[in-house]
Amino acid sequence: MSSVCPVPETVLMGGEELSADDAWHTARRWGLRTLLRTAFVRFRFGDGFSHARAFAMQLALAVVPFIIAGAGLASALGAESFAEVVARTVVAISPGSSDQLVRDVVDSGTSDEGSERAEIVVAVGLVTAFLAATSAFAQLERGANRIYGTKRDRPALRKYGSAALLTATAGVSLVAGLLLIVAGEPFGEAIEQVYRWGDAAETAWDVVRWPLGMLALVVAVTALMRYAPRRRQPGLSWLAVGAALTVLAWLAISGLLALYVVFADLGDTYGPLAAVMALLLWANVTGVALLAGVALAAQLEAVRAGCPDPLLADSDDDGIPDQLDEHPESAPR
């Protein structure tokens, strides 16, 4: 149960209630350190970690069928060379001891046991991945609502309809950005090995993929922050601060996670399941980064509306907010 103070919708305010300065000036006036501290409090008491784990599970369930469907679709369309690029890329970014398991999973979507079976694999993979991603973005709405202090999600049809639309738009941009940054280098190497496109083209790819990936991530995260919560959000400039935090935190933590996977040698502990554990860890990092950015955007708007305290009042310190406690003064201290 979230115990954070609800964030007023500042788009409904006017006159003296609403500060006219922009997001950056508000952040500088209150201090970035203070905003980050109070945003973490809002994230924690808004059950951000729990909702990040739920989002991560759904995201992980979407990744595997998406990879199978992607490789199978390339094979079904007659692009066996591109299917090989997909296989090489996925194997390259997986922990070493998981190579055979990952290759078997990818090959299951590109096997030549009849075109009918290949079409079924592609169709089932795409549908499964889309449904899992839709469920993940529906979970993201719930987490964002709790962080903003919104007690109820959208009605079921609106909630999952909105999540499906976000999957088809922001989700595609998010996947593109993640692939360009996380798998960009092995993807370029795989293309060079399969298509022989030359060192100059590979160098150009390594330079271009970073700004393109960053742009795709910022666009996707900003769209998620704008349309996932059940509320009328402020202008994009106010959400860009949280989106920037999400992208930077995700890049930093993902880099540290990659180092951990390499030097901790997960294969010694988990064997062929090392890739699964690495995927779960990465998905959890992604969920935490997304909801942490939401918390910062929410706290920045709360400060703008004159509600700097992220928590509901609890005068008797019994763990129950005063507005939910029937007898706050008589409760034991």
Reported as a single tens digit per residue, the pLDDT across 284-321 is: 999 999 999 999 999 998 988 888 888 877 666 666 77
Six token digits for residue 22: 């922009």
Q: What is the pLDDT of residue 165?
A: 95
**pLDDT of 114-160, one tens digit each?**
455 666 767 777 888 899 999 999 999 999 999 999 989 999 999 99
Sign for the CA dihedral angle at 158, 159, 161, 165 comes to: positive
Q: What is the pLDDT of residue 332?
A: 46
Phi, psi of 211 (to 5 degrees): -65, -35
Please indicate, yes or no, whether the overall pTM of this predicted structure exceeds 0.75.
yes
Distance CA 57, CA 64 (A): 12
Tell me the pLDDT of the chain averaged across its residues. 78
Residue 306 DSSP label: T
Q: What is the pLDDT of residue 170?
A: 92
Six token digits for residue 154: 């959208």
Distance CA 288, CA 53 (A): 8
**pLDDT of 235-251, one tens digit each?**
887 888 888 888 888 88
Distance CA 2, CA 140 (A): 15
Residue 4 DSSP label: B
136-157 burial string, b = 16+ CB within 10 Å, else e?
Answer: bbbbbbbbbbbbbbbeebbeee
At residue 234, the 3 state secondary structure works out as coil
Question: Where does residue 234 rank: exposed (0-12), middle (13-18), buried (19+ CB within 10 A)?
Answer: buried
Distance CA 92, CA 189 (A): 10
Question: Domain-by-domain residue ranges, the chain?
Answer: 18-311
Distance CA 317, CA 123 (A): 54
Quick check: 70 pLDDT over 80?
no
At 192, is the pLDDT very low, low, confident or very high (cuts 50, 70, 90)? confident
The residue with tokens 């901790």 is 264
